[in-house]
Amino acid sequence: MAYHPFGSPGLKIMAVIVASALWFTVAGEQNVERTLRVPLEFRNKPANLEILGDPPTTVDVRVLGSSTLLSRIDPGEVVAMIDLGAARPGSRLFHLRTDEVRVPYGVDVQQLTPATIALELEKSARRTLPIEPATEGDPAPGFVAGKVASDPPSVDVIGPESRVKELTSATTEPVSVAGRRERVHDTVTVGVSDSAVRLVEPKSAAVTIEILPAPVERLVRGVPIRWRSLNAGLTARVEPLTASVTVRGRRDAIDAMRAETIDAFVDLAGLGPGQYNLRVQFDPTESFGVSATEPTVVRVTIK
């Protein structure tokens, strides 16, 4: 069927009437003012500066426009901005300007509240921190958590110079050792305790925690006290001859402990004839340690 641009004149007249009515309605609508709480954005911040504290994230903007237009504004269509391109370290004040507010066409900005924003700016600093994994829970009865290792062992952080200097380590999500009897492996997210400081790059760490038998203690009586490094031609007498020693270590090593296997001694190096009160000493060992000894000091007579 051929198209006739001037066909159905009644419909065309009706369309013109409706369009005209809408135009006059909108054109005749009065402008109104309305206050909107809108996001505040910081633009062009120098890479070597950090904002300290908790800067405001919103401001109140007084806008003017038709009631219909203002009622149709979506969140994010109106945004206030502060240009930090020329900012310097220190306590600074920035004016909020009406020409730095993004608004839809047909909307005018009348006023911003507050009119100024105070910011504390500081130089940015970067540092490498060791990772100290966090743990939670207790191993099974009779076991304890031992050495904790992280891979990688350290991480780079960045933030305000003063806050970065205060940090001594980075941390991780807690790794649970609850009820465990053997080595624990887990991969967790790395972070820092100060929210003003952040990782240069998001990192995860592989954490290994050794689970060891809990050390036990035992009192061993009659441990012989020997002397060492006596000068040639001299004799020595130790009183008393034995000590009671409390040892601590792995259960298997402590259960097998005998008085003769504990090497208690006094050091006579450089001493001549006479009487001395000397401290009882022990050689270090990997299988056990000495928690206490009685007596701690003995009398030694050298002739």
pLDDT at 85 over 90: yes
Is the pLDDT reported for residue 240 higher than 90? yes
What pLDDT, on a 0 to 100 scale, did the predictor assign at position 214?
Answer: 85
Q: Residue 299: beta bridge partners?
A: 239, 277
Q: Which CATH class is domain 31-122?
A: mainly beta
What is the torsional sign of CA 171, 167, 193, 158? negative
**Nearest Cα residue to 121 out of 159, 177, 155, 157:** 159
Least reliable range by pLDDT among 10-14, 51-55, 209-213: 10-14
Contact 50, 159 (CB under 8 A): yes
Instruction: Check whether 178 has a pLDDT greater than 60.
Output: yes
Percent of the chain scored above 90 by pLDDT? 72
What average pLDDT is seen over the chain? 89
116: which strand partners? 95
pTM: 0.64
Residue 12: predicted pLDDT: 60
Domain 31-122 and domain 131-213 have a common topology: yes
CATH number of 131-213: 2.170.120
For residues 275 and 299, give the distance between their C-alpha atoms in angstroms, rounded to a whole number. Answer: 7
Band (pLDDT 50/70/90 cuts) for residue 165 is very high
Cα–Cα distance measured from residue 243 to residue 37, given in angstroms and rounded to the nearest whole number: 80
Please tell me the distance from the alpha carbon of residue 160 to that of residue 121, in angstroms, as a whole number: 8
Tell which CATH classification among 2.170.120.30, 3.40.50.920, 3.40.50.1970, 3.40.50.150 matches the domain 216-302.
2.170.120.30
Q: Is the pLDDT of residue 3 over 60?
A: no
Enter the tokens of residue 296: 């701690």
Task: Name the CA radius of gyration of the chain, rounded.
Answer: 40
Cα 113 to chain centroid distance, Å, stands at 36
What is the pLDDT at residue 208? 97
Return the pLDDT at 1: 45
Asked if the model's pLDDT at residue 192 lies above 60, the reply is yes
pLDDT of 243-289, one tens digit each? 999 998 888 888 888 998 899 999 999 899 999 999 999 987 877 88
Break the chain into its structural domains and give their ranges: 31-122, 131-213, 216-302
Q: Answer yes or no: is pLDDT of 19 > 80.
A: no
Confidence of residue 197 (pLDDT cuts 50, 70, 90): very high
Range of weakest confidence among 121-125, 174-178, 252-256: 252-256
